[in-house]
Amino acid sequence: MFSIGEVLAELRAEFPDTTISKLRFLETEGLVEPQRTPSGYRKYSRADVQRLRYVLTAQRDQYLPLRVIREQLAEGGDELVEAASRPNLVALGPDDAPPPTTIGVAVPAQPRDAASVRLTTAELCDRAGLTTSQLRDLEQHGLLTPDAGGRYDADALAVAEVAAAFAEHGVHARHLRAWRAAADREVGLIAALVAPLLRHPDPTAQARAAETVRELTVLSQRLHAALVRVGLRATPGQ
C-alpha cells in the first residue's frame, strides 16, 4: 500500500504536472477509491496507481473529459486498466519499419480504420454527446464539415467530442473559431515544410512526407500545451 505522497512521486515521473490536489480531485470525481487508515490517511494499492495512470494518460493523450473516462472505467473496469498497462506489440512485415521518432518525440500511429469511419448526423451527435443544434453551430463556425455524402469521419468525431467537453465549461462554437484560425495557420506552415518532399522524385517521398506531418503535428500539440501552461502561470491569481 502507498501513501498519497508515494503515489505522487511515482506518477510525477511520467506526469510532472500532477499534484496532491489533483489526486484528491480524481478521488472526489469517483475515478479512484483509496482505502483509509483508522486515522483517516489514504492508502493506495498497486491497482489504484495503475488506475490513476490510465486516467492521466487518457487526459493527456486523448484529451478525454473525466465523464468519458469514468464511463470507460465503469464498462471495462480492471480489465481495461490492465490492458492499457501492457505494451502494444505490432507485428512487422519484411517491408515495415518501426514507428519513427523525432528528437525524442514518439509519433503515434494513425488508427487503421480511421478512414473507414463514416457517421451520420445522429450517430455523430450520439457518440460525441452533442445536440443537433450544437452540431449545426459548429458547422456554421467552420469547425466541422461533412463529406459529400453528408457523413463525418474519425477526425470530425474527435472535434465534436472536444467541442462537447468545452461546452460543459461554457465554451461554445463561436469561441472555438480562434482554434480554427490557429489550426489553419499551422496547416499552412506544415504544408510548406513538406512541399519539397512531395515534389521529390523518390518513390518513398510520399511516405516520408506523411511521417513528417505526423511528427510536426505531435510537436505542435506539445508546444501549444506548454505555452498555455506558461501563460496560465503568468496570469495573476493562477
Query: How is domain 4-85 classified at the CATH fold level?
Result: Multidrug-efflux Transporter Regulator; Chain: A; Domain 2 (1.10.1660)
Query: Any idea how long the chain is?
Result: 238
**Residues paired with 36 in a beta bridge:** 42
Going from N- to C-terminal start, the domains of the chain cover 4-85, 101-233
The closest alpha carbon to 81, from 111, 57, 106, 108, belongs to 57
Please report the beta strands in the chain, taking only residues with DSSP state E, as ranges in sequence order.
35-36, 42-43, 101-102, 105-106
Helix (H, G, I), strand (E, B) or coil at 129: coil
pLDDT, tens digit (0-9, with 9 covering 90-100), for 188-222: 999 999 888 888 777 677 767 777 887 788 888 88
What is the model's pTM? 0.51
pLDDT, tens digit (0-9, with 9 covering 90-100), for 34-68: 999 988 899 999 999 999 999 988 888 877 778 88
